[in-house]
Amino acid sequence: MSLRLRLLLAVGAVALLALFVADGATYRLLERSLMSRVDASLQAVDRGVNGGGPFERGGGPRFGPGGPPLNPDVGNIAAGTYFERRDSSGNEIGTAVPARLPGGQEWSPKIPGNASSLVRSARQSAFFFADSTEAGGPRFRVRVSRAADDDLVIGGVPLGETFATLHRLLAIEVAVSLAALLAAFAIGWWVVRLGLRPLRDVEHTATAIAGGDFDRRVPGADARTEVGEVARALNTMLARIADAFAQRDATEAHLRRFVSDASHELRTPLAAVTAYAEMLEHPGAPAEDVTRARQGIRSEAARMEHLVADLLLLARLDEGQPLERKPLDLVAVVGQAVDTAKAVGPQWPVDIEASEPIEVTGDELRLRQVFDNLLANVRSHTPSGTATTVTISKNGSDAVVTVADRGPGLSADDAERVFERFFRADPSRSRTHGGSGLGLGIVAAIVGAHGGTVDASATDGGGTTITVRLPRSS
């Protein structure tokens, strides 16, 4: 069953229930009103009889001069009312006056023999319904009351007109209710169709997206309605899915480029090893060639081992493998890297500036590798004699380490890409002279794993400044 049909059935059920309650209440109110009027007219019988009505105690009915019994309109008794009087034993006094309807028919109600028992004390009365004594006659509303002289006064009003009025009301209510129900269905169909239009838009959008239109979005997200909330939620979901696909595509592209670069980096040492192996296989090769081949194989194997180690480290960092976390004195870690750089490359003077100890939380070995790589990058890509200044300071909740050299520097475009893996800024950074191009990529990965950032910029007066920011422990 469709949602539209379920909504229409729900609207119809509510409308039907409301109409049923309204019709029932209207019918009952009119019935009570009509019966109250009938009961009021029956009370007039008692007043008319006790106030000098057409009966006299101990005799027959009062007659007009040579005519029939007095008209029942005497006193307060309404025309068309049946009435009679009985003594306390239930015997009729005089002749009962039948109810005469406008057509001339006369009818009398069936009065039960125990009518006197219905009234148990003076001035008390009882109401009940009774059928007509004649076949096909109307139903009566009857009132039995006790007069002051202990006689019973019985009055009855035929209910033909009352029931006819109620039947006409019932017929009108049924007709109006059916018309109102049909109108409710028609209006409900139009309203539901209008209200479900945004859902059809959602359906069409979903179909378009399934067909490959991933930039499509659900309309109506600005509406302050339930459908608008659904549209906003769907658009948010679609935007996140699109971002996820974009990230996946970027990751796949990055992975393909990474594998291609890694394969290219390994190709050179593998080719060299192959060439050196062929030299060893050559019969009668001179001793110096054999020695050179052996040394070359060891050198290229070490180079491949270093490259593979770097690739393995990057892979582990990309997988989010946890690093050791412990409080460290960042000044001491950087100082050790500076001391090593001075020993390895004394031709590149390095100064360190730090005014106070700064504590960070992290992996000491990996953070030491960050600063070793930065200083090794200076030695690899600046001429001998290039001075470098390493500064350690605080900036808010961050510890900031800057490595500023006075070398040739980088262009703005190179500074943005210098931390990409296998990136080389100029031809001098070749695979035979400038390393694998993974040093700064490893720096960025380790710093990112510690929740920090790293960037490159031009040094005032010429050169390159690498800035590392790490969150401080306190």
Residue 371 identity (one-letter amino acid) = F
Multiple choice CATH, 3-56+72-165, 3.20.20, 1.10.10, 3.90.1310, 3.30.450: 3.30.450
Domains 226-316 and 323-471 share a fold: no
| Domain range annotation of the chain | 3-56+72-165, 226-316, 323-471
Burial class of residue 316 (count of CB atoms within 10 Å of its CB; 0-12, 13-18, 19+): middle
| Local confidence pLDDT in tens for the 474 residues of the chain | 677 778 778 888 888 899 899 999 999 999 999 999 888 888 877 666 655 444 444 444 433 333 334 344 445 566 788 888 888 777 788 778 888 887 778 888 988 877 777 776 545 788 889 999 888 888 999 988 887 777 888 889 998 888 999 999 999 999 998 998 888 888 888 887 777 777 777 778 888 878 877 777 777 667 777 777 877 888 888 888 888 888 888 777 767 776 766 676 677 678 878 887 887 777 777 878 778 888 888 888 887 887 787 777 777 777 777 788 899 999 999 999 999 999 988 999 999 999 899 999 998 988 998 999 899 989 988 899 999 999 999 998 999 999 999 988 888 877 787 888 777 665 444 444 445 677 788 888 889 988 999 999 888 888 899 999 999 986
75 vs 155: CA distance, rounded Å = 14
The class level of CATH for 226-316 reads mainly alpha
CATH code: domain 323-471 is 3.30.565.10
Which residues 6+ apart lie within 8 Å of 215 measured at CB?
242
Q: Which residues pair with 29 in a beta bridge?
A: none
404 vs 406: CA distance, rounded Å = 7
Supply the DSSP symbol for 118. Answer: G
Among residues 77, 68, 81, 78, which one has the least CA distance to residue 107?
A: 81
